[in-house]
Chains A and B, each alone.
Chain A
């Protein structure tokens, strides 16, 4: 293992929230209703706050003088540790809200477990974040239900979104060497230990939404390990990092 596993874990948390916030920010001013515009901006804002905490701690743990901004704005694709789900394009509003719900459902469980972390700084961030993330899940699940059980068109769009995105969910629950070490140290749960609770969370929501969960175990992977991101990340980063890269001497 090249890097410190705790550093890896913190990047996985912070990069997920960073990239998803970046995606949600693209909706600003273009949402379906004013209320949704406000909600999406609010979620992006919360996730940006979490990013500052996770990447800030990652920088401390690394001890190489990089702070949260240094990590966010000065790494290239291969150093990012977010899952493939969060870098997927926004698509229509249905895809955005389905991606959000699937992420929120995992995020709540992950933070609940991290609250019990043997690392007090990790536990503290999780404790702070979970209040906001529980609200994100409440809202995204209601919207998935409303649109799934809405009109014929909204139902079809939500089903298409679920079919498209479900294969990106498995990556959240696949254990690797970093996870094993974190579990051993009592810092984080094993990802696969959260799977049944995740299924219990989404099953009634999908039922109420009259959506059919595709019967497949196939899971894309490569994001959280950094082995192979999608092409999309390579377009998100230049936009996000441009000012910092173009004017390295400037402070903002």
Chain B
């Protein structure tokens, strides 16, 4: 899940009776499962909330290249290098689909990039954690992509057409990412003592940050209700987090790894695992820019933007010259 703490109106959800006729018609279309398309009328807050959410998701795909890109040049075999390259390339592609979806709402990719760089837009907190060993490539695929899929699968049914279609394409590729991550973990967990140690260490470091990906607990989540009414959020944060834990704990057992949570236990009555909450103070610190890698991640994106301004300008100037020549020839 790459959208956390996406601000919405904050004013609570209006009932159909409180809405003006246009709003009511809009809400009724959503309730009936219809898709909203770019040229359709939409409430301004729906548009703004979607831009924030899709933008945050797009930025997460782009910043998310960095912790994995960190290991491409050190991948231990040619096969692993090829798989990681393919994965990171997919992620850049996901960023592209999502920026295109956001552009249909009237905001350009360059504007969104500027908002990322000046801190007005965010990306998922998870990418502010470092990737320290090769096992982290496994943990990122298994846990981070696994958590992302939990959220993205239901978002295929989201109310905004271009977003829903982007999600359908993305989900196809994400399940491959998660499988390759689990495959790395299998190799490591069944490998030498050093590899097993790397695998356990990766799980220790990524477990709670992965749980944070779903956002704060429902009781503290102030933006959910309106987004759920608009079907741009399909499940609550706690529902998805529980589902993730229930799915992942047996996988960790299968790997012979220990989830770093003393309170973790199967609750027969609830039919779910009980588990410890992540440290939410740490989560808010990371959101404020104080995570282990916030500074490096944004600096890398800023440098890519600044150092390559000449490339973007050059290609644009050339395209304009070509266009002018074509016009002159006509």
Q: In the assembled complex, how far is the CB of residue B10 from the closest CB belonging to chain A, in whole angstroms?
A: 32
A34 to B308 alpha-carbon distance, docked (Å): 12
In whole angstroms, what is the CA distance A188 to B9 when docked? 68
B263 close to A (CB within 8 Å):
no
Question: Which residue, B76, B109, B195, has most C-beta atoms of chain A within 10 A?
Answer: B76
- In the bound complex, how far is the Cα of B308 from the Cα of A35, in angstroms? 13
Please count how many residues in chain B sit with their CB below 8 Å of the partner chain's CB atoms. 49
The contact of B76 among A45, A147, A154, A252, by CB within 8 Å, is: A252
Among A32, A34, A44, the residue within 8 A (CB) of B99 is A34
**Which of A44, A145, A149 contacts B85 (CB under 8 A)?**
A44
A18 to chain B, nearest CB (A): 8
CB neighbours (8 Å) of B96 from chain A are: 34-35, 38
* Interface residue from B62, B81, B95, B314 paired with A25 (Cβ < 8 Å): B81
A-chain residues with CB within 8 Å of residue B206 when the two chains form the complex: none
Q: Mark A181-199, 1 if CB is under 8 A from B, else 0.
A: 0000000000000000000
B99 proximity list for chain A (CB < 8 A): 34
**What's the least CB distance linking B189 to chain A, in Å?**
12
In the complex the two chains form, is B195's CB within 8 Å of A250's CB? yes
In the complex, whether A214 has a CB less than 8 A from a CB of chain B is no
**Are the C-beta atoms of B89 and A242 separated by less than 8 Å?**
no
Which residues of chain B are near A25, meaning CB under 8 Å?
A: 69, 72-73, 81, 85
Task: Give the chain A neighbours of B68 by CB distance below 8 A.
Answer: 28
Interface status of A216 (Cβ within 8 A of chain B): no
Verify A239–B74 contact, CB threshold 8 A.
yes
Cβ of A157 < 8 Å from any Cβ of B?
Answer: yes
A187 to B266, CA, bound (A): 65
Residues of chain A within 8 A of B314, CB atoms compared: 146-147, 150-151, 153-155
Asked if B89 contacts A45 (CB within 8 A), the reply is yes
Instruction: Please determine whether B321 and A149 come into contact, CB atoms closer than 8 angstroms.
Output: yes
Contacts of A244 in B (CB 8 A): 76-77
Q: Which B71-96 residues have a C-beta within 8 angstroms of A?
A: 72-82, 85-86, 88-89, 92-93, 95-96
Is B300 an interface position by the 8 A CB rule?
Answer: yes
Instruction: Please state if B78 and A154 are interface contacts (CB–CB under 8 Å).
Output: no
Shortest Cβ distance from A42 into B: residue: B89
Residue from A72, A94, A150 within 8 A of B78 (CB atoms): A72
- Out of A31, A72, A146, A242, name the residue touching B318 (CB < 8 Å): A146
Whether A69 is near chain B, meaning CB under 8 Å from some CB there, is yes
Task: Tell me which residues across on chain B come within 8 A of A143, comparing CB atoms.
Answer: 315
**Per-position contact with B for A21-65: 1 when CB-CB < 8 Å, else 0?**
110011011111111111001101100110110010000000000
* B66 proximal to A (CB < 8 A): yes
* C-alpha spacing A171/B279, complex, angstroms: 58
Contacts of A37 in B (CB 8 A): 65, 92
Residue B20, interface by CB 8 Å? no
Chain A positions within 8 Å of B76 at CB level:
73, 243-244, 250, 252
Asked if A249 lies at the interface with its beta carbon under 8 angstroms from chain B, I say: yes
Q: Which residues of B contact A42 (CB under 8 A)?
A: 89
How far is it, in angstroms, between the C-alpha of A41 and the C-alpha of B69 when the chains are bound? 10
Separation in Å of the B55 CB from the closest CB of chain A?
14
Q: Which residues of A contact B75 (CB under 8 A)?
A: 243
Determine the distance from Cα of A198 to Cα of B79 in the docked complex, in whole angstroms.
Answer: 32
Nearest CB on A from B323, distance (A): 13
Q: Is the CB of A69 within 8 A of B77?
A: yes
Contacts of A154 in B (CB 8 A): 310-311, 313-315, 317
| Residue A217 is within 8 A (CB to CB) of chain B in the complex | no
Given known contacts A38-B93, A150-B318, A240-B74, is B69 in contact with A29 (CB within 8 Å)? yes
B312 on the A face (CB < 8 A): yes
Q: Across the interface, do B319 and A32 meet the contact criterion of CB distance under 8 Å?
A: no
CA distance A72 to B109 in the complex (A): 39
Residues of B within 8 A of A49 (CB): 82
Q: Answer whether A34 and B62 are a contact pair too, CB < 8 Å, given A147-B318, A154-B314, A239-B73.
A: yes
* Set of chain A residues within 8 Å of B78, measured between Cβ atoms: 18, 48, 51-52, 55, 68-69, 72
User: Which B residues touch A151, using CB under 8 A?
Assistant: 310, 313-314, 317
B319 touches A146 (CB 8 A): yes
CB distance from B114 to the nearest CB of A (A): 14
From B134, B304, B307, B318, give the contact of A149 (CB < 8 A).
B318
- Of all chain B residues, which has the CB nearest A153? B310
Taking a contact as CB atoms closer than 8 A, the residue among A28, A45, A93, A247 that contacts B82 in the complex is: A45
Closest to B86 in A: A45
Interface string of A112-151 (1 = CB under 8 A from B): 0000000000000000000000000000000101110111
User: Complex formed: what's the CA distance from A73 to B77 in Å?
Assistant: 8
- Are A252 and B74 interface neighbours, CB within 8 A? no
Central interface residue in B75, B80, B304, B316, by most chain A CB within 10 Å: B304
Select the residue from A51, A145, A155, A251 with max chain B CB neighbours within 10 A.
A251
**21 residue pairs A–B, Cβ–Cβ below 8 Å:** A28-B88, A29-B63, A32-B307, A34-B99, A68-B78, A69-B78, A147-B314, A150-B315, A150-B316, A150-B317, A151-B314, A153-B314, A239-B74, A243-B76, A244-B76, A250-B192, A251-B187, A251-B191, A252-B134, A252-B187, A252-B191
Lowest 8 A-B CB distances belong to which pairs?
A154-B314, A150-B314, A32-B308, A28-B69, A29-B65, A32-B311, A252-B76, A243-B76
Can you name 4 extra interface pairs (CB under 8 A) apart from A29-B300, A34-B99, A42-B89?
A: A18-B78, A21-B81, A29-B63, A29-B66
